[in-house]
Amino acid sequence: MTAFIYLASQSPRRSQLLTQLGIRHELLLPGAEEDAEALEVVLPNEAPKAYVQRVTQLKLDAALARMKQRHLPEAPVLCSDTTVALGRTIYGKPVDEQDAARMLRALSGHTHRVITGIALGVGNKQLLACSESRVTFASMSDQDIQAYVASGEPLGKAGAYAVQGAAAAFIARISGSYSGIMGLPLFEAAQLLKAVS
């Protein structure tokens, strides 16, 4: 596998997952002049999988441009984007605590999809992959939801929860990639990295 890559993600979990695979990496984060959040705007009637693939590609394009602008040594650039979907409804990162509670109420007692897109760019070569998992939440009482929201954990997380955090107490079943639900599907990441090494 590749000896060194750039990770264009602010997620500490993605960095931990790469470390778990033994992949040396450096963060390649947006500068103050970039509006990274603008890339994540959902288009009207956009299907969840199409949304994730489009946003992941936009993040890769921005990161490759960033590497050139900063005159960094050439190395593969890895990007990822995760979304939670219930039917065709996309649940991104909550804007505040009320929004987080709204999302958790919607997910409570249902099975939703977690779709994570992953993109790797090196030279003129770009590879994309997508991981889709299913997560079943037990029914959560209003008290459960309020206590979880008050912990602060849901903020900044797609679908207002972290599978590796306190939300695990409400997850009855998972089908698919645990690391994909965390934000970086390791099997797909390893396959892409092998393809460019």
Catalytic residue positions, numbered:
81
- DSSP states of 108-156 as a string? TTSEEEEEEEEEEEETTEEEEEEEEEEEEEPP--HHHHHHHHHTTTTTT
Cα–Cα nearest to 7, from 119, 123, 114: 119
pLDDT tens figures, 17-33: 999 999 999 999 998 88
CATH for 164: 3.90.950.10
* Residue 163 in this model has a pLDDT that exceeds 80: yes
Residues 6+ apart with CB under 8 A from 156: 93
pTM beyond 0.75, yes or no: yes
pLDDT tens figures, 132-157: 999 999 999 999 999 999 999 999 99
At residue 6, the pLDDT reads 97
Strands 89-91 and 111-122: unpaired
* Mean pLDDT in residue range 161-187: 96
> What is the count of structural domains for the chain?
1
* Residue 187 in this model has a pLDDT that exceeds 80: yes
Ranges 1-5, 50-54, 85-89, 151-155: which has the least confidence: 1-5
How far CA 173 is from CA of 23, 114, 158, 160, 187, in Å, comes to 30, 13, 18, 17, 20
Q: 117 and 52 in contact (C-beta within 8 Å)?
A: yes
At residue 35, the pLDDT reads 84
Structural domain including 115 reads 4-196
